[in-house]
Structure 1
Amino acid sequence: MIPPPRILTIAGSDSGGGAGIQADIKTITMLGGYAMSAICALTAQDTTGVHGVLPVDPAMVAAQIDACVDDIGVDAVKIGMLGSPAIAAVVADRVERLAVPVVFDPVMIATSGAALADAATIDAFERLMRAATLTTPNVPELAALGGDAAMRARGVAYIAKGGDADGDEVVDRLVVPGRTERVWTAPRIVTRHTHGTGCTLSSAIATLLARGLALADAVDGARRFVRAALEAAPGFGAGHGPLGHQAVRQDRDPGS
C-alpha cells in the first residue's frame, strides 16, 4: 500500500467548521492526503462572523510544526491565518528549511468581513511569499499586497482569485515568473454558502502538488474541487454557510 501524501496545514481554527484548519483537514482527507495541523489562532466563529480571536503563543506554533515534521514528515505545507507578526516569523523560519511545496493563503479578511490580520502581520508576509511555491490572494488581499505590479516585481508565483470580483463569471489568473499567464473562466455559482472557499482551494492545491501534479494541473484540480463543494453545500447557518466537502467523493477526484 502506498502511503498518502502528508500535508501540514498551518492556520487558524474555525469553531464553526467552515474555514481554517477544519476546512483544510476535510479537503486534504477527501483528496486522499494525510492531514496534520499547527493551530495559530483560536476563533469563535460561525456563518455570521468572527466573534473572537485568540492567537496561540508563537513558541507553541513552532512546537506543533516541529512535532509533525520531525516525527511524521511532510510532503507539502498550506499556510493560512497566522494571527500575529511573531507567528508569521516563526512559520517563515520553519518553512524556509523545507524542500517541499508550500502554498500560502494570505488570509486578511474573513468571508463575513472580519479582519484577521493587522498591518504588521501583513508586512511579515513578505518572507512567506518568497518561501512559497504559490501565494493565493483574493481581490482585496491582492490589493493590500500592492496589486499585480507589486507581485510581479517580487518575482513570486501567485494565483489572483476572482471570486470576490463582480460579474457573472469568475476569472482566476495563475502568474508564474517566466511563464505565460494561465487564465480560468467559469460561470459564477450563485450561493451564500461560500465560507472557506479560499482555505479549501489552497489546501487542495497543496495536496495535489504533494501527489505529484504540476502547478497548473494542481490549480485546475483544486478549482474543480471547490466548485463541486460549493454545489454540494449543506445549507447550514444564517450567514455565509460552509461548503460540502464531504459530498465530493474520491471517485470524482479532480486530480485524476
Structure 2
Amino acid sequence: MKTTENQSKTSHPIFVLAIGGSDPCGGAGVQMDLMTLGACGIRGLSAISALTIQNSHGIDRIMPISPRDLQDQITACIDDFPVTWVKTGILPDPNLVKVVAEIIQKYKLKCVVDPILRSGKGFGFAKEDSLKAYIDNLCSQASIVTPNLGELRQLARMVAPEIDLSAVDSLTLAQKLAQIWKTNILAKGGHASGSIITDFLVQKDNMWRFSHPRLPFNEIHGSGCCLASAIAGYCAKGLSIATAVADAEHLFESALLAGWTWHETTFLNPLNNLTELGLESLLKDEVNQVIATLESHPFASSFIPEVRTNVSILSLGGVTREQVAAVDGRITIVGGQVKAAGPIRLGCSNHTARLLLACREVDPRIRAVINLKYSPTNLDFCQRASLLCLEIMRSRELPAQKTSEHSTMEWIPSQIRLDSTTFPDVVYDTGDFGKEAMIRLFAHSGKDLQEKLLKILNGMKG
C-alpha cells in the first residue's frame, strides 16, 4: 500500500509516544499501545509510568516509576524524534500526571488522554489525588479525552458536583466536560447495558454517534489502550479527530474479532492482517464481497447505469485517492449478467474515490460508496429498504462545475451539507444536460454497504 502524504514528505516514519504502564502479559498498557500503533502504520515510542504484576487472572500490584525517571524517558524520546502526538495511559501518582502535563505544555504536544482509573477487573489505578491532578492539569490540555462510563462519572462528579449523576446520561456528562475543558470527549459505552454499544464523540460544534452490536466476548483486556492508541496513530497521520475516531472504532472491532480467550479473559489482536500487505488484502476483500453480491443477484443488472458502476472503499487511516480500493475498469453487464470488468486495485478510481474523500469531510464515518442507476422504480426500492434518501438538484450546479467532473465530486457533498442535518444513505439526482441521473449509496464499511445493497435488491423479489 502506498504511503500517506504525511509519510511521503519525509524519509522517516511518523512517531507517536505512548506513556503508560507495562503489562507483562502484553495485553494492555504500552505493549498494546505499540502493537496498535504498528497496525496503524506508526512507529511507536514508549515511556513507562508504572510496572505492574498481572496476568489473565487480574492485577496483583502496581509500582509507579518516579516522576524524574518518567520525565527523563519522555524527554529522551521527544528531544530525539519528531513527536507531535502523545497517548497517555495509567498515571497512578499525581506527580506523574503533573510531569506529563508540564511536558505537553512545554513542547506544545497534542495528546490523547485515556484516563484509566480502574482496570476491567476492578483494580484501582488512580486515587482521589491522582484524579484531581488529571482534572487540574491534564484534561484541559488534551486534544481528546476517552473515558469509559465509570471514568466519565468519576470525572463529572469532581468537575461538576452540582450534577445529579443518577438523572443524566453519558452524552449529557460528555457534553458538560467538553464544555468545561474546551476539548473533545469520547464517551465509551462498552460498560453500559444493552445489546448495542454506543460511543459518543462530543466536539465543539458536532456530536458523532458510533454504534455497533455487542459482541459475545468475555472480559476484554486492553480495550481502552487499543482504541486510544489507534486514535493517536490516525491523528498523527493527518486525520481529523472525528475521522481518526471513526477509523479507530473499526480497527478495534477487527482486533476484537481476531482476538483470543484465555482463562475467561479476551485478548485483542490488532496486528492480525494489519501489515501494509494484509490491510490491502482486507480492503480488497471488502470490495470483492460487494461485487459478489451484485454478480450473484438476479435483479442487480437493473441498477447498472450507462456510465457503469464502481465500488470505492477507503482504507482505515486513508486520506488520499491512492488508498481507495475499487474495480479497475468498473462494473458492467456481460450477457445480461453483472460482471467486474477488471481486478480490484488501489488508486484506480477517480470519480467515486474523490466523492468518497470529499464526503468524509461532511461525515467522518463514511468509508464506502457505490453509484447505481437512477429510475423512479430503483429509488422506490431504496426507500422501501428504509434508507434515508436525499435528492440534490443538478440545476444548482454552476456551469464551471458541470464541465469538471472533479468539481462535481466536491459539489455533491456541499449540497448534502446544505440540505441535510444527517448524512443520508442514498444521494440521488435526476440528471441534467450531459449528466446521467444517478443514485449513490454510502456506508460506513464494505460490510455495511453490502447489507444496504442486499436490502434494496431483496426488496425487488416482492
User: What is the TM-score when the length of structure 2 is the normalising length?
Assistant: 0.53
Distance 1:149 1:221, change over 3 A: closer
* Number of aligned residues: 254
Aligned partner letter, 2:211: T
Q: CA deviation at 1:241?
A: 2.6
Q: Per the alignment, in what secondary structure is the counterpart of residue 252 of structure 2?
A: helix
Distance 1:248 1:141, change over 3 A: farther
Residues 1-256 of structure 1: pairs in structure 2 closer than 5 A: 2=10, 3-126=12-135, 127-146=137-156, 147-148=173-174, 150-151=176-177, 152-177=179-204, 179-192=205-218, 194-235=220-261, 237-250=262-275, 251=279, 252=282, 253-256=315-318
In the alignment, the residues of structure 1 paired with residue 54 and residue 264 of structure 2 have an alpha-carbon distance, to the nearest angstrom, of 11
Answer 1 or 2: higher relative contact order, Cα 8 Å, separation at least 6.
1
**Runs ≥4 residues deviating over 6 A:** none
Aligned partner letter, 2:202: V
In the alignment, the residues of structure 1 paired with residue 187 and residue 92 of structure 2 have an alpha-carbon distance, to the nearest angstrom, of 23
1:18 touches 1:195 (CA, 8 Å); kept in 2? yes
Q: Per the alignment, in what secondary structure is the counterpart of residue 91 of structure 1?
A: helix
In the alignment, the residues of structure 1 paired with residue 273 and residue 132 of structure 2 have an alpha-carbon distance, to the nearest angstrom, of 36
Q: CA deviation at 1:135?
A: 0.2
Question: CA deviation digits over 1:55-89, x for unaligned, max 9?
Answer: 00110000000000001221310011012001111
Distance 1:153 1:130, change over 3 A: closer
Question: CA deviation digits over 1:121-172, x for unaligned, max 9?
Answer: 0100022111110000000000001133641333221100011111111101
Aligned partner letter, 2:235: L
Q: CA deviation at 1:193?
A: 5.2
Q: Per the alignment, in what secondary structure is the counterpart of residue 143 of structure 1?
A: helix
In the alignment, the residues of structure 1 paired with residue 237 and residue 84 of structure 2 have an alpha-carbon distance, to the nearest angstrom, of 9
Q: CA deviation at 1:50?
A: 0.7
- Give the number of the structure whose alpha-carbon radius of gyration is greater: 2
Aligned partner letter, 2:78: V
2:196 touches 2:211 (CA, 8 Å); kept in 1? yes
Q: Per the alignment, in what secondary structure is the counterpart of residue 120 of structure 2?
A: coil
Relative to structure 2, which stretch is displaced further, 100-109 or 149-158? 149-158
Aligned partner letter, 2:154: A
Q: Which residue of 1 aligns with 2:423?
A: none
Relative to structure 2, which stretch is displaced further, 210-219 or 67-76? 67-76
Q: Per the alignment, in what secondary structure is the counterpart of residue 10 of structure 1?
A: strand
Relative to structure 2, which stretch is displaced further, 191-200 or 152-161? 152-161
Q: Alignment identity in percent?
A: 33
User: What is the TM-score when the length of structure 1 is the normalising length?
Assistant: 0.95
Q: Per the alignment, in what secondary structure is the counterpart of residue 165 of structure 1?
A: coil
Aligned partner letter, 1:55: P
Distance 1:75 1:148, change over 3 A: closer
